[in-house]
Structure 1
Amino acid sequence: MLATSQAQAGWLQHDYGHLSVCKKSGWNHKLHKFVIGHLKGASANWWNHRHFQHHAKPNIFRKDPDINSLHVFVLGDKQPVEYGIKKLKYMPYHHQHQYFFLIGPPLIVPVFFNIQIFRTMFSQRDWVDLAWSMSFYLRFFCCYYPFFGFFGSVALISFVRFLESHWFVWVTQMSHLPMEMDHERQQDWLTMQLSATCNIEQSTFNDWFSGHLNFQIEHHLFPTMPRHNYHLVAPLVRALCEKHGLPYQVKTLQKGMTDVVRSLKKSGDLWLDAYLHK
């Protein structure tokens, strides 16, 4: 239940961060700090800085922080070949589709994001976001310390983050990681967004599970649009794409997830071939 509430609060803070809930931007900003800070223990400024870069240049190396894999993974079709030609082997990339299950979903939120969030708040002296974040942990330990003690409460929040991290990674990566990744090519807005994103089929469960980010294409084209309007504009976007011969990919939830692993294996194989033969 805690992991579910954290995941859904994550989608809610995403809405406020995109200014897509309240009519006045000021209220969105205030509620964003409350939800991401007090309900999730993170930083609004850290999220804004990171997420807006992603929206501006999705799947563009060195510009989209979401595909900065810190040499742990090689992604897409070009990066693996570049690493292979240069004989770079920070990890056994031809096994990345296997160690992804050990490094990716379990660790992104509880380890990588937490370290990055607190390092950013302290380095930027963002005391307001730090206070909001601390209010989450103060409330959490006040609730659970009497039942589980200090170390038990730490174990509880760690396990909640572990579960939430799996949820977050699969939802966010199935719409982006299998898609085209490249260096900056100065593409027009529509083409760039469509090449980097795909949708997952609409259903009551998929909408709830993904916070309506199963409409990833519409979200990237209209980032301030309220989520409940995505299904209304989707047929218009699809018709526009068909008219101009542009790709508009829609997958099942299962295919979206399996394509994540499939794309990692393909990239790893490309790296191995370039590493051995070029």
Structure 2
Amino acid sequence: MTFEEKPEGNGSLVDENQLYLGEKHQAKEKPIANGKAKLSARQEANAKCDLPRKSLHTYIWQEVQRHNQETDQWLVINRKVYDVTGWADRHPGGRQVLNHYAGEDATDVFRAMHPDPDIVRLYLKPLLIGELAPEEPNQERNKNAQGSFLQHDMGHLSIFKKSKWNHLMQTFVMAHLKGLSAKWWNNRHFQHHVKTNIYPKDPDIDVGPLFVIGELQPVKYGKKKIKYIDYEKQHLYFCTVGAALLMPVYFNLDSILVMYRSRDWEDIAWVSSFYIRYFITFGPFYGIFGTMVLIYLVKLLESPWIAYVTQMSHTAMKMSKEENRDWFSTQVLATCNVEQSLFNDWFTGHLNFQIEHHLFPTMPRHNYHKVAPLVKSLCAKHGLQYVNKPILKAFGDILRALKKSAALWMDAYYRHPETCCKCA
């Protein structure tokens, strides 16, 4: 017996009550100077929803999977087929997230990443082009069959949601308090969440040429004779130079580069407020150069903490190319938890519950411990390994994983003397 989600109502993503509320809300808008009501983005979506709809075209999975290019992106949510090609550049989570799921079923990740799906569905409806044929399964035929079980069971665990002010607070903390682009971080982090440890779609594991991690990247670099750094020593320079320079050098330069390329003036203004605040506060005492050194030192102190807390849950876990597994299994296999304690919860900011963080990315962190026993029992029910480590072992596993990857690189590099860069 399998659990499948039935389409809601008559198959429409927005029911009549929602449309009525939208019209009612629009009626309350105050007229502007020219006498016309100023439509919000949500009201525009409502207006589009009122357009007469023709009978939906039906597709088989083979047709959907052909539309998996950056210039031609279809995806499936709740058995409905959407053409998101034109919407990708306006997607708040970045176009890469949509591109990573082009030609695939995105139902589970859609639910996980959108705390208020009713509003999002208003924007989805103009993109609707059809639905899966009745004889087609919910997910791609080559996707793990247990996905339908997990999709059903996980739905019962979605019991907590973030505050509606979370986005503003996140922007304030990331840009104003830390001096990094909030949109840069979101676009990067969303990709990490939707394709965790999938090379090269997860930017957190695409760390060449500084490191080679996992099992695939070291062999690839070794066979192509790629040696930017002595990877045999990468576990040593990670815990010395690498972890220390992650925040003050790599993250800062990457954030600035993304803001410059996108000409995102809002983000630039927020990040500028970080530096203005520092120079107003400390400039009179330390001068311009001294204040810049202070900023660097603060980020230098923070950097090892960020590096170890984020990498302890992923570096030693499964890394692979796209296997098109169900989303739940992918998240569990690519993440691990660190044992709960008062210190661990405080030190990691509740990110010791990394499995729950990935399954429920919109859940407030302090609620992870409430849902963890349910997730653990669900993993046991479906035969998925639920990894929970002591914190020191998790830290040590980072270095052990780097040494293991380095050994794979050395074996491929020195055992293939006939291979050269021209063979790449």
Superposed pair shares fold, TM > 0.5: yes
In the other structure, the counterpart of 1:113 is: 251
Residue identity opposite 1:179 in structure 2: M
Report the secondary structure of 1:245's partner residue: coil
Partner SS for 1:65: coil
2:256 maps to amino acid? F
How far apart are the structure 1 equivalents of 2:246 and 2:264?
Answer: 22
Matched ranges for 1:1-278 at <5 A: 21-22=162-163, 24=164, 27-278=165-416
SS of the counterpart of 2:204? helix
TM-score by length of 2: 0.59
Amino acid of the structure 1 residue aligned with 2:314? H
Answer whether contact 1:94 1:272 (CA < 8 A) is retained: yes
Residues 54-103 of structure 1: per-residue CA shift (max 9 Å, x gap): 00001111100111113111111222122222222222111111122344
SS state of the match for residue 213, structure 1? Answer: coil
Pick closer, same or farther for the CA change 1:203–1:215 going to 2, 3 Å. Answer: same
Match of 1:9?
Answer: none
Greater than 4 Å deviation, 4+ residue runs = 17-20
The structure with the largest alpha-carbon Rg is 2
Query: Which AA in structure 2 matches 1:170?
Result: Y
Relative to 1, partners in 2 of residues 1:163 and 1:18: Cα closer, same or farther, differing over 3 Å?
farther
Q: Which residue number corresponds to residue 16 of structure 2?
A: none
Structure 2 partner of 1:4: none
Stretches of structure 1 that go unaligned for 5 or more consecutive residues are 1-16
SS for the counterpart of 2:351 is coil
Distance in 2 (CA, whole Å) between partners of 1:124 and 1:42 is: 15
Letter in 2 for 1:174: M
Distance in 1 between the 2:167 and 2:354 partners?
22
Q: Deviations over 1:9-56 (max 9, x none)?
A: xxxxxxxx997541x3xx322222222121111111111111000000
In percent, how many aligned pairs have the same letter?
57
Amino acid at match of 1:272: M
The 8 Å contact of residues 18 and 223 in structure 1, kept in 2 or not, is answered as no
2:370 match: secondary structure: helix
- Secondary structure, counterpart of 2:319 in structure 1: coil
Letter in 1 for 2:171: K
2: CA distance between counterparts of 1:204 and 1:102? 28
Return the alpha-carbon distance in structure 1 between the equivalents of residues 114 and 244 of structure 2.
26
Identify the structure with the greater helix proportion. 1
Distance 1:241 1:29 in 2: 31
TM-score, normalised via structure 1 length: 0.89
Alpha-carbon distance in structure 2 between the residues aligned to 1:138 and 1:220: 35
| Bigger proportion of residues as strand | 2
State the distance in 1 between where 2:244 and 2:226 align: 26
Q: State the aligned residue count.
A: 259
Query: Is the deviation greater in 119-128 or in 87-96?
Result: 87-96
RMSD: 1.6
Q: Distance in 2 between matches of 1:189 and 1:103?
A: 35
Partner-residue secondary structure (3-state), 1:164: helix
The gaps in structure 2 that reach 5 residues or longer are 1-112, 116-160, 417-424
Provide the C-alpha distance between the structure 2 equivalents of 1:249 and 1:29, rounded to a whole number of angstroms: 30
* Cα distance in 2 for residues equivalent to 1:149 and 1:267: 45
How far apart, in 2, do the equivalents of 1:35 and 1:203 lie?
Answer: 26
- Provide the rounded CA distance (Å) in 2 between the counterparts of 1:202 and 1:72: 32
- One-letter amino acid of the structure 2 residue matched with residue 101 of structure 1: C
Amino acid at match of 2:379: C
Q: Deviations over 1:117-175 (max 9, x none)?
A: 11111111111111111111111111111222221111111111001011100000000
Ranked by relative contact order (alpha carbons within 8 Å, sequence separation 6 or more), the top structure is 1
Cα separation, partners in 2 of 1:198 and 1:18, compared to 1, 3 Å: farther
**How far apart in 2 are the matches of 1:233 and 1:64?**
26
